[in-house]
Structure 1
Amino acid sequence: MVSIMCILPIIGIILCIFIKKYYFKKKQFKLAKKIWSKANIWLTNFKSFDDIFEKKNSKVASALFQLCKHRQGLLGIKCNKLTLLTNFTETINTLIHDIYLAKNNIEIVFYIWKPGGLADDVANALILSAKRGIYCRLMLDSSGSTDFFRSKWVNIMKNSGIQIVEALKINILRIFIDRIDLRQHKKIILIDNHITYTGSMNLVDPSLFKKSAGVGQWIDLMIRIEGPIAGTIGIIYSYDWEMETGKQILPKIPNKYKINLNTLIKNNSIQVITSGPYFPKDTIHKALLTAIYSATKELIITTPYLVPSNDLFYAICTAAQKGISVSIIIPRYNDSIFVKWASRSFYSELLEAGVKIYLFEKGLLHTKSILIDHQLSLVGTVNLDMRSIWLNFEITLVIDNNQFGKNLASIQYEYINNSTLLDKRLWSIRSYWNRILENLFYCLNPLL
């Protein structure tokens, strides 16, 4: 008993270090305020392009777009082209093609960049583009991209003219002033302020990544967009860049854009939602809740990590109890044993509410997506866990478009076809020790 009492304070100190709120220094507050004042001038100019905004939304999307409008000050934005990419090789080849065609600038942020395989082809494409005079900026998370920062590529790319920033740099002294587990989790590629990519994919060749983990290849989803939405994503990128470096890189003023109004997709509306200590609090959480409560027919969720807040958990259960078809697709095998067991603690109540839980068998399903009534889609970097919802720098796209919804549905149904439906009866007779582990890891969910 004495030894346990001695250990508990130590555990408490460790937990406090990891779950305390992010600390903002006065200098950071001043810089953040300064950046927002400049960004607001840019956005005011951007709003003058009346034709690029979609003033009407579908019934299922209207509540969420109203939330975004009041929280972020913008209506949904039309786009010229919207493409879903599910194959890694196809995504990389498309990206490299766009990089070689770039005329002015390329901005990139990733949580993980791991050298090797096709990731090196992207590095070489960036190097050649920088050498021909394209402004190239690369921002990578310090923790996620450790292998990159220890590799030869840092000096090679810098010597070619590429600017590289190690975001949220790991430093033992940070333990005493802020959360050391705060991470830059966005995945964004911007080319010429016109083409943008985002989604769940890191710059990692899945055939080489975490092979020893025994979870199979990672399965991801990316979106490629052409059009003025790149401007608002550019503002987000410039904000993160300036907070890390102190250097301003606002996108070009909108009146210099060559927006092809004739090719803007009709009945198509996109919002960008981002999160992190510098951005409006709880927007992603409120957006997820609003989207789920808007469902009337079908709700499909894919997430690699299922540790939702109480509010989101009850919203999902309520949807199923209203008679809405609710499906959650998660990987059977996970790279995190903590998340695996914590996720399992939610299964019983979800199954009891009528939620269908599918365990994906063909690798680690890393796609983060929510589809409501085949019309409203949320796709991005946000996992359904506490870290993504409350802590990390994240981004998600909200898309109100029927054809895009149908395309996303076909991908999700393919995931379901490669999954096993969790049997409610068999789950109810799992071992007593499994239940203990589930509850134990559930208590640690603020760390997950």
Structure 2
Amino acid sequence: MTTLYVIINWLLLFSYWSLISGITLRIMMKRRSVPSSMAWLLIIYILPLLGVITYILFGEPNLGKRRIKRSKALWPSTVRWIKNLKRYQQIFSDKNSEVARALFQLCEHRQGIRGLKGNQVKLLSKSEDVLHTLIQDIGLAKNNIEMVFYIWQAGGLVDRIIESLVEAAWRGVYCRLMLDSVGSIDFFRSSHPTLMRAAGINVVEVLHVSFLRSFLRRMDLRQHRKMVLIDNYIAYTGSMNMVDPRFFKKNSGVGQWIDIMVRMEGPVATAMGVIFSCDWEIETGERILPPVNINDIVSFEKKYSHIIQVIASGPGFPEGVIHQALLTSIYAARKKLVMTTPYLVPSDDLLHAICIAAYRGVKVHIILPRNNDSILVDWASRAFFSELLKAGVLIHQFKGGLLHTKSILVDDQLSLLGTVNLDMRSLWLNFEITLVIDDDDFGRNLAKVQEEYIANSHLIEAKSWSNRPYWQRILERFFYFFSPFL
């Protein structure tokens, strides 16, 4: 009996260390930042069993076998679609401004497509305007409506959006909705999905969360895009979820959420349609590549001059392209760089690029919400302030609500807007989308919005920040430890 216990103990010990060694080797073999690898190793060796389970659940961007299989299967048809689109050379831009040239070259090499010209673009900086304009466009839709949102919450003008979609479905418009399971959890618990499906709207709950699925794919991998496509020639994207800020998270203590969206007409809608079709096929298995409406495209190409590139990220899309695009944009700055983000937990490369821009003499502004809905991110972001302030970066804390806008403006010419936060989750994990717009008129419009944010912000002084209480510094460093996972 004693011998049996000894054998069992040795087997358990061997299994334990084999598991620890296997996870350690897996961490070391993955190409990731050193701080992230070290953080994972510390967690695993300080809290071995809990650390191993946590790594299995959250350590790698595992999409799940079924979705990975679909992702691989869709690319040949997507490549053929892009090749077909390239036949219409008149819709592609062959020149860019000096500040945008490197970024557009990067996007062409990483995504296989050049910037699209001939787009009409309108910046919508007020949520009420976004919802009213969207209601009008839905009312005029003739063929199809596709939407992707992280959060969909009924109430206020969103109820009118739902009514407009139901009416569109009844008159024969094909409507598809992809909503994230976590972000839209309250919506899926309500009666609205049943109502919409009864009208013929195809509502899909994306990336379901459950205990059993947690061991098959990473649970914090989320569908974070915000996109609307109408009749393959109208498109919206930006930072705004499908919520009415007057009714959203009223008890959170951070005020109303402040967002921007961009409404577009032209070839860019066709490109965004490909992104939606990829997401749709990965989730449902159904192939719905959009048609190339070249007649509509050519008519817009003759009327408008906005040049746009669309960057999509997430499993199955070019790895690290968002991160590379941000770095390229920052290094292209010569005079002024303005960044707005609700969550600032940058990679070391991004942090250094921002600081180097300031050291080069670029006037760098970062605008953040003064009150944040994430305590972890709020404290972790403060750990970067000292280094940024030392470099001469101007950090503004917005006082008019939770500033949720994600935007970058380089030299008043190159604009980046979309769903990407300056944190690890957006940069390396989630399904995200960013617009790159090379146009000085649009840049001036974005600059006006950013100036309004700055006017309603508190500027952090380097001297007063250096005199903050010591206990705050301890909390900042503690939460900074978790920054690779935020």
TM-score by length of 1: 0.96
Which residue, out of 119, 122, 146, partners 1:107? Answer: 146
CA contact (8 A) 1:80 1:260 kept: no
Aligned counterpart, 1:439: 477
Q: Using a 3 Å threshold, how does the CA distance of structure 1 residues 125 and 261 change in structure 2: closer, same or farther?
A: closer
Which residue, out of 223, 229, 243, partners 1:190? Answer: 229
Q: How does 1:40-439 map to 2 (within 5 A)?
A: 40-255=79-294, 257=296, 259-261=298-300, 263-266=302-305, 268-439=306-477
User: Following TM superposition, by how much is the alpha carbon of 1:381 offset from its aligned partner in structure 2, in angstroms?
Assistant: 0.2
User: Following TM superposition, by how much is the alpha carbon of 1:176 offset from its aligned partner in structure 2, in angstroms?
Assistant: 1.3
CA distance in 2, matches of 1:290, 1:93: 36
The number of equivalent residue pairs is 444
User: Following TM superposition, by how much is the alpha carbon of 1:416 offset from its aligned partner in structure 2, in angstroms?
Assistant: 0.2
User: Following TM superposition, by how much is the alpha carbon of 1:54 offset from its aligned partner in structure 2, in angstroms?
Assistant: 1.1
User: Following TM superposition, by how much is the alpha carbon of 1:430 offset from its aligned partner in structure 2, in angstroms?
Assistant: 0.8
CA distance in 2, matches of 1:327, 1:265: 31
Percentage identity across paired residues of the two chains = 57
Q: Residues 370-412 of structure 1, C-alpha deviation per residue, up to 9 Å, x if partnerless? A: 0000000000000000000000000000010010011101110
CA contact (8 A) 2:380 2:476 kept: yes
Q: Which amino acid aligns with 1:148?
A: F
SS in 2 for 1:211: coil
CA distance in 1, matches of 2:159, 2:411: 40
SS in 2 for 1:54: coil
CA distance in 2, matches of 1:25, 1:99: 34
CA distance in 1, matches of 2:327, 2:191: 44
Q: Residues 299-348 of structure 1, C-alpha deviation per residue, up to 9 Å, x if partnerless? A: 00000000000000000000001111000000000000000000000000
| Structure 1 unmatched runs, 5+ | none
CA distance in 1, matches of 2:314, 2:281: 14
CA contact (8 A) 1:45 1:254 kept: no
User: Following TM superposition, by how much is the alpha carbon of 1:116 offset from its aligned partner in structure 2, in angstroms?
Assistant: 1.1
User: Following TM superposition, by how much is the alpha carbon of 1:177 offset from its aligned partner in structure 2, in angstroms?
Assistant: 2.1
Q: Which amino acid aligns with 1:335?
A: D
CA distance in 1, matches of 2:57, 2:458: 35
SS in 1 for 2:298: coil
Q: Using a 3 Å threshold, how does the CA distance of structure 1 residues 261 and 119 change in structure 2: closer, same or farther?
A: closer
SS in 1 for 2:251: helix
CA distance in 2, matches of 1:155, 1:369: 36
User: Following TM superposition, by how much is the alpha carbon of 1:433 offset from its aligned partner in structure 2, in angstroms?
Assistant: 0.8
Q: Which amino acid aligns with 1:307?
A: V
Q: Which amino acid aligns with 2:140?
A: L
CA contact (8 A) 1:219 1:367 kept: yes
SS in 1 for 2:159: helix
Q: Using a 3 Å threshold, how does the CA distance of structure 1 residues 244 and 288 change in structure 2: closer, same or farther?
A: same
SS in 2 for 1:319: helix
CA distance in 1, matches of 2:58, 2:215: 12
CA distance in 1, matches of 2:323, 2:381: 18
CA distance in 1, matches of 2:373, 2:326: 25
SS in 1 for 2:158: helix
Q: Which amino acid aligns with 2:253?
A: G
CA contact (8 A) 1:18 1:447 kept: no
User: Following TM superposition, by how much is the alpha carbon of 1:259 offset from its aligned partner in structure 2, in angstroms?
Assistant: 3.4
CA distance in 2, matches of 1:188, 1:434: 39
Q: Using a 3 Å threshold, how does the CA distance of structure 1 residues 115 and 25 change in structure 2: closer, same or farther?
A: closer
Q: Using a 3 Å threshold, how does the CA distance of structure 1 residues 199 and 6 change in structure 2: closer, same or farther?
A: closer
SS in 2 for 1:323: coil
Rg comparison, structure with higher value: 2
Higher mean C-alpha deviation, range 218-227 or range 36-45: 36-45
SS in 2 for 1:213: coil
Higher mean C-alpha deviation, range 350-359 or range 29-38: 29-38
| Structure 2 unmatched runs, 5+ | 1-42
CA distance in 1, matches of 2:200, 2:361: 57
Q: Which amino acid aligns with 2:190?
A: S
Aligned counterpart, 2:24: none
User: Following TM superposition, by how much is the alpha carbon of 1:73 offset from its aligned partner in structure 2, in angstroms?
Assistant: 1.2
Q: Which amino acid aligns with 2:166?
A: I
User: Following TM superposition, by how much is the alpha carbon of 1:19 offset from its aligned partner in structure 2, in angstroms?
Assistant: 3.3
Q: Which amino acid aligns with 1:417?
A: A
CA contact (8 A) 1:46 1:254 kept: no
User: Following TM superposition, by how much is the alpha carbon of 1:25 offset from its aligned partner in structure 2, in angstroms?
Assistant: 4.9
Higher mean C-alpha deviation, range 6-15 or range 273-282: 6-15
SS in 1 for 2:212: helix
CA contact (8 A) 1:272 1:398 kept: yes
TM-score by length of 2: 0.89
Q: Residues 35-90 of structure 1, C-alpha deviation per residue, up to 9 Å, x if partnerless? A: 11111111111111111111100000000000011111111101331000011111
Q: Using a 3 Å threshold, how does the CA distance of structure 1 residues 169 and 402 change in structure 2: closer, same or farther?
A: same
CA distance in 1, matches of 2:285, 2:219: 21
Q: Residues 410-440 of structure 1, C-alpha deviation per residue, up to 9 Å, x if partnerless? A: 1101100000100111100111110110011
Aligned counterpart, 1:9: 48
CA distance in 2, matches of 1:38, 1:262: 26
User: Following TM superposition, by how much is the alpha carbon of 1:27 offset from its aligned partner in structure 2, in angstroms?
Assistant: 4.3
Aligned counterpart, 2:76: 37
CA contact (8 A) 1:19 1:446 kept: no
